[in-house]
Amino acid sequence: MPLHTTGAGRYAPSPSGDLHLGNLRTALLAWMFARSSGRRFLMRIEDLDRARDAGSGARQLADLASLGLDWDGDAVIQSERAADHAAALAQLAAAGLVYECTCTRKDILAAPSAPHAPPGAYPGTCRDRSPVEREAARAAIAPRQPALRLRAPEGLRSLEFSDLVLGNSRGDIDDFVLQRGDGTVAYNLAVVVDDAAMGVDQIVRGDDLAPSTPRQILLQRLLGLPTPPAVEYAHVPLVLGPSGARLAKRDGAVTLQDLSGRGVNPGVVRSWIANSLGLAAPGEAITAGEMLQRFDPTRIPHTPWTWDPRAPGAPRQ
């Protein structure tokens, strides 16, 4: 991987609770991807969703530091960047690319889908309403406010991107939400604006977020922001629980705090993660710096790591 004298990678947790093993593994990967390529590594607390904010941002940063991660500068607090989010939304609206939507999730699921549209895609119910129809629809949901959706250009409803882990990937794009009815800026818009402002040109995250990438690349283009190949993506495999579903707190002791209560320190957790990535032998003590020295982005596993809480001393691939 070529060394970069500019640019940055990042990790951007939501403060909805303590980080579990899957979050910690992705954070370590994001850090190693960035540091091994000579990039800065930045931290951002994505606290826009107040309904899910458990106020755990400081604990999350402390947990990451205890694993040996470091980052450049102070963590960026996403909710403090509202002016930039509003400016991007206004830019899209001025270009005629935003419209009001009064549909509920139930309405969307009940509506007939457009031909060849992916499951759950927005069917365009509110897209072509007249001003009179918009006023009537707005009045019908009062005091609830409409959401704002992107009017995705017809020629850009499917985009391909190159991923450092997944290879060439393609995804469909519907008229996705830019701002929710409660005024909260949607994830896709916020991360695109924030990454560009922070100089992030390498985005490493869980592969469950890969379907969002074509939407974000489209927003980059529409807002005149850096887009691939100037921006790299790497969607890494998740950690699964014993049921085969994505790891969650219901799977037992999966956070550093929980594991500490069972006598497991951060160094042991780091060793588990390193072993899952092929960077350490089972039970081998290893520092974050040593993990970085052994890291080769072309050799990371492309399959999920299954965590078995019944045998925390011997996590299995």
| Cβ burial, residue 243 (10 Å; 0-12/13-18/19+) | exposed
126 is in an annotated binding site: yes
122 is in an annotated binding site: yes
The C-alpha atoms of residue 87 and residue 75 are separated, in whole angstroms, by 22
75 is in an annotated binding site: no
222's CB contacts (< 8 A; 6+ apart) are 92, 95, 97, 150
Q: How many CA atoms lie within 13 A of 215 on its CB side?
A: 20
Three-class SS state of 255: strand
12 is in an annotated binding site: yes
Three-class SS state of 234: strand
205 is in an annotated binding site: yes
101 is in an annotated binding site: yes
233 is in an annotated binding site: no
13 is in an annotated binding site: yes
99 is in an annotated binding site: no
Q: Look at the block and give the residue holding tokens 């701002």.
A: 179
The C-alpha atoms of residue 152 and residue 222 are separated, in whole angstroms, by 10
106 is in an annotated binding site: no
35 is in an annotated binding site: no
187 is in an annotated binding site: yes
Q: Return binding residues for L-glutamate.
A: 10-14, 46, 187, 205
Q: Return binding residues for ATP.
A: 249
Q: Return binding residues for Zn(2+).
A: 101, 103, 122, 126
Q: Return binding residues.
A: 10-14, 46, 101, 103, 122, 126, 187, 205, 249
